[in-house]
Amino acid sequence: MFDRIDIFCDVIDNFGDAGVTYRLARSLKTELPDSEIRLFTNGLEAFAEIDRGIDHKIKDQICGGIRFSSYDILTPEFAEKYEIPELVIEAFACRIPAAYYEKALDSDCLIINLDHLSAEKWIEGVHLKESLTGRKAKKYFFMPGLTSASGGIIPDRQLSDGEKAEKRKYFENLYGLESDSFLISVFTYEHDFRQFFSDLKSIGKKVSLIVFGEKSQRSIGKADLEDDGIRIIYSDFLPQAEYDDLLKACDLNFVRGEDSCARACLSKKPFVWHAYHQKDNYQLVKVKAFLEYLEEFYSDLEFFELYSSYMMKFNDRNGTAADESAGFMLQNAQTLERYNISLSEHLIKNCNLINNLLFFAGSLKTDK
């Protein structure tokens, strides 16, 4: 279909954009094993954290069949000799270095402007709309989302029940956990966890928390928790594929940002999404839209209202909002899991971003 695909990513918030484009590149390589997939970025350091096989000091390298290249190599001399591929993916309206971009605009290539994941309805009206370049190249918006009218989400590897049990044992051995503990992963922005810890103390179970990222770890530390029944592990980041598996092995996950939210949706496990803080608390608009989408998968609307209210308060950054009790969620994790199984199965069947992207790009190639 496409012999070569170039992806561009500006690293802004460390792992968010890098994580999505790394996953995109790997998924495209899996789908098109004979194609050359190349990812240009200004932040190889972030990619090296995601994949330990990447050396951020090497400006141009191949890892796992994908070529990772620093913007530093994109000199006018390089661009002059470089053949622009038929498909170029501009992630999150990043600024493609001028020497490359100017040549691309005068070529026959298709440029896909890949946006951020959103559950807001307006994205469906923008998805696949042309962005006029005034030049030879064609450019279109591609809007990831959770409906068949959007671009969908990047799939990941699904695990059988037996594989989930094996992964659970793997992480228990990795972190030295007891096999009968209630396992929670935490990867959030800054948050006051005092109410949540109070809830944990009341459920009458051994609890293990695996906490990732400086912001989460600092927040958990401020809660000053002392309880023999709760164990906290401050973990280094895992490779992306391992983190995906951890979400599927835990009993509850707190996730932040868009890619981790998508992984949580596919994990079939209970989760709380912590959205990136935006001016005037605008992240609450995004969270509300996401919850409105989730509601269709819940038959018990009273239970959903508890879940929805908890997540909205968890994301309110007005300085005075306090968390609601998470007791209902901790005591009914299996109920939440059943609903999330339905969500995951729907997304897997109907919202495959890789299939949607290649079908659309291929249809334009055929029309030439």
Quick one: how far is CA 162 from the chain centroid? 25
How confident is the model over 208-222, as pLDDT tens digits?
999 999 999 999 988
* 195 and 257 part of one domain: yes
Full domain range(s) for residue 247:
161-349
How confident is the model over 184-200, as pLDDT tens digits?
999 999 999 999 999 99
* 194 and 255 part of one domain: yes
Q: What is the pLDDT of residue 13?
A: 64
Query: Among this protein's residues, is 258 annotated catalytic?
Result: yes
Query: Cα(301)–Cα(45) distance, rounded to whole angstroms?
Result: 45
Catalytic: which of 115, 258, 259, 323?
Answer: 258
CB 119 within 8 A of CB 289: yes
Q: What is the pLDDT of residue 14?
A: 60
How confident is the model over 1-49, as pLDDT tens digits?
899 999 999 997 667 899 999 999 999 999 999 999 999 999 999 999 8
Q: What is the pLDDT of residue 49?
A: 87
Per-residue pLDDT at 145 exceeds 70:
yes
Coil, strand or helix at 90: strand
Q: Check which CATH number belongs to the domain holding 299 and give it.
A: 3.40.50.2000
CA distances from 292 to 233, 234, 286, 308 (A): 34, 33, 10, 9
Query: Among this protein's residues, is 17 annotated catalytic?
Result: yes
Per-residue pLDDT at 366 exceeds 70:
no
Coil, strand or helix at 92: coil
- Grade residue 264 by pLDDT with cuts at 50, 70 and 90: very high
Q: What is the pLDDT of residue 322?
A: 79
* 41 and 129 part of one domain: yes
Per-residue pLDDT at 348 exceeds 70:
yes
* 186 and 321 part of one domain: yes
* 105 and 216 part of one domain: no
Element (H, E) at 255: strand 252-256
Per-residue pLDDT at 124 exceeds 80:
yes
* 312 and 188 part of one domain: yes
Query: Cα(284)–Cα(26) distance, rounded to whole angstroms?
Result: 31
Total number of domains constituting the chain:
2
Q: What is the pLDDT of residue 81?
A: 95
* 98 and 187 part of one domain: no
* 306 and 183 part of one domain: yes
Q: What is the pLDDT of residue 134?
A: 92
Share of the chain above pLDDT 90, in %: 85
- Grade residue 58 by pLDDT with cuts at 50, 70 and 90: very high
* 146 and 217 part of one domain: no
* 42 and 140 part of one domain: yes
Mean pLDDT (the chain) is: 94
343 phi and psi angles, rounded to 5 deg:
-60, -50
CB neighbour class for 334 (10 Å; exposed up to 12, middle 13-18, buried from 19): exposed
* 135 and 258 part of one domain: no
